[in-house]
Amino acid sequence: MRERKAFSLIELAIVLVIFSILFGIGLKSCLDSLTNAKVNSTKEKLTAYKLFLIKEFCSSLTLPNVDSLDFKDAWGNSITVAYYSEASNKTISLCSLDSTTLSVILPDGKEVDNIVAVLISPSADQKLDSIIGANLITLSDNDLFQYISLYELKSKCCKGRDLEIITNVLPPIVKGEDWKEIIVVRGGTPPYRCEVRVANNDTLSSYFENGTEGGSEYCYIYLSCDNSTKIDDSFLDLEVTVYDNSSLSNATKVFRVPVY
């Protein structure tokens, strides 16, 4: 009867080494696949968040407050959102700007100017390596990012938007008191200019001053206390016309204003 030979310790050691190598390769491949999946997922999230910010701006012409955002990447890290310093200033319209003071330096060294917002994920190492300054953000290739340029924002949100008067009601005119009111506007090309007249009464219209002190989202209309005493009616129908900076677009609305 033939005797069966057992494996030697050297043969077993070789088998274990080979098994360990194959297991290590498989584990590394699995971890790499998981990391790549999270990288791709985070890139998709960054794109989605970027489109969300653009959509929010297109609907209201303002960007949401950074503190209200809760953007997370695939690792559960908070995504840093940095705005151009004046982007959250409600009296400044990005649609009327030709440039911003914020720039980014890409990982390849290229500098991109006129940036409105930057979104940065610290990625797999969960450490933000990009350098964020007031007017310059240096992006690291260890991080994942998206940015929104002023041109991109304006091309998607500012062109061809109809001029619209948002204000619906004006407060009463009190005789003997100055009356200065804000007309809130959106669309067109800011800054805006208001003209006001009393519907069907050019004599009373001459008492009002047009809003030459315009802003990016508003303009003013005035009535001095001296002229308010000359109004005998119990209400006025004020026809307010707003012109944008190009003077090619305008909007008109009539307000019924009580007089006391």
Contacts 24+ apart (CB under 8 A), 206-213: 207/231, 208/238, 211/183
Whether pLDDT at 80 is above 70: yes
For 137-162, give the secondary structure using H, E and C: EECCCCCEEEEEEHHHHHHHHCCCCC
List, in sequence order, the alpha helices (H) in 3-82.
9-60
Sign of the CA dihedral with 126 first, then 131, 135, and 136 last: negative
What values do phi and psi take at 147, rounded to 5? -140, 155
d(CA 147, CA 104): 9
What is the number of other CB atoms lying within 10 angstroms of the CB of residue 13?
Answer: 11
What is the bridge-based pairing of β-strands 136-138 and 103-105?
A: parallel
67: which DSSP letter? Answer: G
8 A C-beta contact, residue 53 and residue 117? yes
> Crossing angle for the helix pair 9-60 and 150-157, nearest 10 degrees?
50
Separate counts of helices (H) and strands (E) for the chain: 4, 14
Q: Which of 10-19, 105-114, 149-158, 181-190 has the lowest mean pLDDT?
A: 10-19
Whether pLDDT at 1 is above 60: no
- Position 253 confidence tier, pLDDT thresholds 50, 70, 90: very high
8 A C-beta contact, residue 93 and residue 61? yes
What values do phi and psi take at 66, rounded to 5? -60, -40
What pLDDT is recorded for position 93?
72
Whether pLDDT at 164 is above 60: yes
d(CA 14, CA 9): 9
Q: Tell me the one-letter amino acid at 139.
A: L
End-to-end CA distance of the chain: 124
pLDDT digits (tens, 9 = 90+) for 15-60: 677 767 776 676 666 667 788 889 999 999 999 999 999 998 888 7
Over residues 153-157, the mean pLDDT reads: 84
What pLDDT is recorded for position 194?
87
What pLDDT is recorded for position 4?
55
What pLDDT is recorded for position 14?
73
The structure's pTM equals 0.56
Q: Which residue has the tokens 């489109």?
A: 51
- Position 215 confidence tier, pLDDT thresholds 50, 70, 90: low
pLDDT digits (tens, 9 = 90+) for 91-147: 567 877 888 999 999 999 999 999 999 999 998 888 999 999 989 999 999 999 999
